[in-house]
Amino acid sequence: MASIKDVAHHAGVSVATVSRVLNDHPSVRANTRDRVLTAVADLGYRPNAVARSLRTDQTRTLGLVISDVLNPFFTELARSVEDEARALGYSVVIGNADERPDLQDHHVRTLMDRRIDGLLVSPTDGGSPLMLDAARSGTPMVFVDRWIRGVDVPVVRTDGRGAVRDLVAHLCALGHRRLAIIAGPAATTTGRERVEAFRSALREFGLALPADHIGQGDFQADSGRRMTARFLDLPEPPDVIFAADNLMALGAMDEIRARGLRVPDDVALAAFDDIPWFVHTDPPITAIAQPTGELGRAAVRALIDRVEGRTTDSVILSARLVTRRSCGEPEGSKP
């Protein structure tokens, strides 16, 4: 592969001059510039980004550690992050934590070793020592979707409180009284917040959330299946299962179907996070939709602000309820 030296030689100038034209430095004579550009084209020269990064101490790369690539919510988030970053002149490298703190740490470490300019994380846990170090190390960082308490890092997330309340109102209006939730890990903010929002909405409607109606999932499909089995084995099973993400809703569907039960007749089902397939499931699934694209874009803007030395605030967007048939006939239909 041709190096800057080859180009310099070919153009009959010094490497400094080649570097200048490559970086659009104004003080290069037009004629010199043309000679260099010709040499670049002739040799098919491409600057070595590794060498440039070492020298300039910047990689123009952002790291993104997501909780689970198999979760369409995160995949859509990753997409919008990459789009916005590219528009602003940055690349992004993604690490998939697969909901495992150890894997998350692995990726944070690898990314920092590569000297990425900034780190976007949706933490799978409450903050490992490594993660805390990273946050304090001076590498610009922003949390997206999930965050860690007690760390001075901006957060870009969705507040699902209102939508969860709307969901509970919807469920009560349909006559449901025994509501259960499959929660995410208590170590994650969204794991905790969604249960809390659910609990306080229930309270508002005069309902309780007994311990055996809280299933401890891990945001992945299998746990949704296991928790659903546990609920359905209860002497008095719940009327409704609310899955705190779409993967656990998938697991719930698997279990319900395996038992030959029907949604919503035997159990109603609702999910946090909306995905295109929810329109086509049997029945279509009521879900809480996040403004995922905007979330990703806002997170990138916040991170790049930090990277480039500007200040940023946290941003909180809001989710909305999308009601479909999985909890019973929607308002306005025949009973």
Q: Which residues bind DNA (CB under 7 A)?
A: 3-5, 12-20, 22-23, 26-29, 31-33, 45, 47-48, 51-52, 54-57
CA-only gyration radius of the chain, Å: 25
- Contact of 300 with 86, CB cutoff 8 Å: no
Q: Which does 70 bind (CB under 5 to 8 A by kind): a copy of itself, DNA, none?
A: a copy of itself
Bridge partners (DSSP) of residue 96 are: 66
**Least distance (Å) between residue 138 CB and a copy of itself:** 8
Q: Rounded to an integer, what distance in angstroms lies between the CA atom of residue 329 and that of residue 259?
A: 23
C-alpha distances in Å from residue 157, one per residue of 98, 148, 284:
20, 12, 26
Q: Judged by CB, which is closer to a copy of itself: 199, or 306?
A: 306
Interface pattern 231-260 for a copy of itself (x via CB under 8 A)? -------------------x--xx--x---
Does 120 participate in binding a copy of itself (rule CB under 8 A)?
no
Pick one of 24, 27, 149, 280: the residue that binds a copy of itself (CB under 8 A): 280
Pick one of 3, 32, 53, 312: the residue that binds a copy of itself (CB under 8 A): 53
Does 335 participate in binding a copy of itself (rule CB under 8 A)?
no
Residues in 195-224 that interact with a copy of itself by CB under 8 A: 221
| CA–CA–CA angle 227, 171, 232 (5° rounding) | 25
Does 137 participate in binding a copy of itself (rule CB under 8 A)?
yes
Please, is 233 exposed, middle or buried when counting C-beta atoms within 10 Å of its C-beta (0-12, 13-18, 19+)? Answer: exposed
User: Tokens standing for 167?
Assistant: 């969901």
Does 136 participate in binding a copy of itself (rule CB under 8 A)?
no
